[in-house]
Amino acid sequence: MELERKITKIGKSYGITIPLELLKEHDIEPGDMVQISSHNGEISLQKSRKVDLPKGISSDFFKVLEETTIQHEEALKGLVDR
């Protein structure tokens, strides 16, 4: 789907509108966070995959989890077979 939209001034920023059908197609709802990236002169937008961690969980939780998983990979694989 290719759309054309006008850039609108919103306070000191700028924005565009996105049709509801397009948001639904990509499972994006009002209030969802999106990631905006720029590469080779193109701007892309996608639903954010970031997760809000519960209160008390450190921001490096997933990094520590990944490191621990790699460190104990063989033991974890053994648990799967049980």
Query: Is residue 18 a contact partner of residue 4, using CB atoms and an 8 Å limit?
Result: no
Kindly indicate whether the domain formed by 8-80 is annotated with CATH number 1.10.3470: no
- Taking only the tens place, the pLDDT of each residue in 30-55 is 888 899 999 999 999 998 887 777 88
Q: Report angle CA 42, 38, 44 to the nearest 5 degrees.
A: 65
Query: Is residue 22 a contact partner of residue 34, using CB atoms and an 8 Å limit?
Result: no
What pLDDT does residue 32 have? 87
What value does the mean pLDDT take over residues 55-59? 84
Q: Is it the case that residue 17 has pLDDT exceeding 90?
A: yes
For residue 74, the surrounding DSSP H or E stretch is helix 73-80
What pLDDT does residue 71 have? 92
Q: How far is CA 25 from CA 19, 28, 66, in A?
A: 10, 8, 31
Tokens of 67: 């490191």
